[in-house]
Structure 1
C-alpha cells in the first residue's frame, strides 16, 4: 500500500465542549499529537491558580498531558498585552508547557468585550499581543502559538493578521478557514489557508470542516498544510484521528466507526462526568455530543431521535444499547486491522 506523508493532528479548543474528560477520551488511542484547552479569559489582572486548574487540570501532571501522554496546551483569550503576558508567565509557573492565544472565537459576547476574533480588525493589535507573550515566555523556554480565523467581517486582512502573528513570535499558527461573520457555515475556505501558508515561514495548521478522511485530504491538498486541527469532526467520529493516521501509515481506509465504539465513548464520558455533575446535566451533555454524531451516522441519528426526551441518566445509557453482534464483530475487525 502507498504511504502518505505523515502530518500532526491536534484537537481544537471548543468552549463548553472539550474539557479534561473529553480530551482524555478522544486522545486515549494515541492518534492525536496535541490538544488545546478551552480559553482562559484574561481581562486586566493576573488570575488565581484555581482558574487555570479549572480549565486545565492537567497542569497538576508533571508533563501537562492527558493520561496517555498527549500534550495539553493552555489557551488564553484577551486583548491586553501586559495582562496576557503576566498570565502566561503564571501559567508556566503552574506547569504549562505551551501557551496558545485565541484570535478566532466568533461568540458575540466575547467579541463585544474585545476578545477573540475582534482583534482581527487590526493586525497591529495581534502583533502586540503575540509579541508581549512571546517576550515573556521565551526566557522560560516555552513557545507561544496562535489560532486565528480568516478575518472578522471579511478576508481583507487575513494575510496581514497572519503575518502579524508570525512577526510577534508565534511558533505556529492554526487557521480556521472562515471569517467570524461566516461562523461555522460551510464551505471552509481551505485555499485561503494555502495563501497564508505561502507567506509564512512558521508552520501553518489547517482547521475547519474536517469531518472525514476525504475532507482531511481535500483540506491538506488545498491548503498545502501537512498538519491539521480537528474539532467537531472528532466528536462526530471519535476514530477520525486514528482513521487519518492509519491511512498515513498504510494508504488503507478503515471501515466506518461502528456504533459500539461510539456508544462506548458516550458511556465512558457519562461515567466520568456523573462523579461531579448532576445527572440531568450529564444527560444534557450526552445529548449535545450525540447531536454532533447524528449528522454523520445513521445509527446515531436513530438513537438521538429515540432519546431526545429522556432526562434520567440510566434510561439514556440503556438507550445506547444493546449493541448488535455484527457491530461488535465490525469493531473487532477494525482492531485487528490496526494491530496487524
Structure 2
C-alpha cells in the first residue's frame, strides 16, 4: 500500500513538497512536469523544477521524489529520461494526465490518450533508454472525452514497460469536476498486471475508504485533497494500520504557512510571492475556517511587508485581524 503526493504544475513546487512531505504519511512524491519538446534539456532545466536531485532525489524530510517528463516525441523523451537518470532521478514518470489546454495544444498530457499506440511507443522508448534498475511509471486519465479508451491506454502503457500506473478517475474534458469515476480504476487494475494507484476526489479519510471500496485499490495518489488538508496522508496511513491519529489543528498548520511565505519570498520576486501564498491559503479554506479569515485579509494585498505582519498577527489572534489598523501601523 502506497500513498503518493501528486505532481501539480504551478502549485506543488519544491517548497510545498518539502512542507507537505514533512507532515508524514507519504511514501513518495513527484516533481512538476518537465516539458520536453525537440531537444535535450540542460541540467539547469531539471534543477529548476526538481531541485531535490541535488539532495539525493529526496525532500529534506527524506521522502523520495520521482522526475516527471511531459512530451510527445518518443526519441526526445527517451534522451531526456536517460539524462535525468545521470542527474540522479530514481524513477522516471511520464505525464499523460495534464488537462491544461495550453499543454494539450502542444501535444502534451491528456491529449495523447487519443493515441494509445503513441503511448506505447513513448514508454517503450523511455524504458529502453534508461538503466534497467530505474522504474518507468505513468500517470493517465480515463481518456480524452470518454472513458471508453481507458483500458486500451492502460494496456498500451503497461505493455510498453511501465511498472506502475496512477489513474486519475476522470477524463480530460471533465477536468476536475466531480465526481471521480473510481469504478473505472477497478476496471483498469483488472486489465493490467502492474500496480495501480487511484487518484481523484480524495479529500477526507472517508473519501479514501469509499475510493478503496469502489476502485479496489489501497494505494492512492493525493493532490488537491492533501494541499487543502496537509495531514490527510498521515490520517490515511494511520487508519490503514488500525491506529488513531489526531487531526491537526489550524494552530499546527499555520506555522507551515508562515514558513511557506518565508521560503516563497526567497525563491520568487516580490510581485510573484504573494500570489503563491494566496493560492495555497485559498485551498486551505476548504478545511480550516481560520484559513478563510486569513485569506480574506491578504487576498487583495500585494505588499510583502504588510503580508508579513498579517501572518504574524494571525498566530496571535487568528480570525480577528484588523486590516485597517495594520495599515495605519505600517504608515507610522
Instruction: Judge same fold: TM > 0.5, yes or no.
Output: yes
Change (3 A) 1:56 1:326: closer
Q: Following the alignment from structure 2 to structure 1, what is the Cα–Cα distance between the partners of residues 318 and 280?
A: 24
Matching residue of 2:204:
212
1:177 maps to which of 169, 172, 190: 169
String of CA shifts for 1:297-316, please: whole Å, max 9, x gaps: 22222222232112223432
Unaligned runs of 5+ in 2: 320-332
Change (3 A) 1:277 1:155: same
TM-score normalised by structure 2 residue count: 0.92
- How far is the alpha carbon of 1:253 from its aligned partner? 5.6
Once superposed, which parts of structure 1, at least 4 consecutive aligned residues long, lie more than 4 Å away? Answer: 324-327
Tell me if structure 2 keeps the 8 A contact 1:152–1:179.
yes
2:43 maps to which of 39, 49, 52: 49
- How far is the alpha carbon of 1:261 from its aligned partner? 2.0
Change (3 A) 1:142 1:56: same
String of CA shifts for 1:162-203, please: whole Å, max 9, x gaps: 011100010100000100000000001111101111111110
Q: Following the alignment from structure 1 to structure 2, what is the Cα–Cα distance between the partners of residues 80 and 32?
A: 32
Matching residue of 1:199:
191
Matched, 1:250 2:219: no
1:14 maps to which of 8, 13, 17: 8
Tell me if structure 2 keeps the 8 A contact 1:30–1:70.
no
Q: Following the alignment from structure 2 to structure 1, what is the Cα–Cα distance between the partners of residues 298 and 14?
A: 25
Q: Following the alignment from structure 2 to structure 1, what is the Cα–Cα distance between the partners of residues 200 and 250?
A: 25
SS of the equivalent of 1:250 reads: coil
Matched, 1:230 2:227: no
- How far is the alpha carbon of 1:230 from its aligned partner? 0.6
2:148 maps to which of 151, 156, 161: 156
Report the number of matched residues. Answer: 318
Matching residue of 2:258:
267
- How far is the alpha carbon of 1:280 from its aligned partner? 3.4
- How far is the alpha carbon of 1:17 from its aligned partner? 0.8
Change (3 A) 1:103 1:326: closer
TM-score normalised by structure 1 residue count: 0.89
Q: Following the alignment from structure 1 to structure 2, what is the Cα–Cα distance between the partners of residues 95 and 190?
A: 34
Matching residue of 1:166:
158
2:83 maps to which of 90, 105, 109: 90
Tell me if structure 2 keeps the 8 A contact 1:37–1:75.
yes
Matching residue of 1:241:
233
SS of the equivalent of 1:267 reads: helix
Tell me if structure 1 keeps the 8 A contact 2:238–2:244.
yes
2:213 maps to which of 218, 221, 231: 221
Tell me if structure 1 keeps the 8 A contact 2:5–2:30.
yes
Change (3 A) 1:79 1:326: closer
String of CA shifts for 1:92-113, please: whole Å, max 9, x gaps: 0111110000000101111111
Matching residue of 2:324:
none
Matching residue of 1:307:
298
Tell me if structure 1 keeps the 8 A contact 2:68–2:95.
yes
- How far is the alpha carbon of 1:226 from its aligned partner? 1.5
2:23 maps to which of 18, 26, 29: 29
Name the stretch that deviates more: 273-282 or 215-224: 273-282
Unaligned runs of 5+ in 1: 1-6, 328-340
SS of the equivalent of 1:274 reads: helix
Matching residue of 1:136:
129
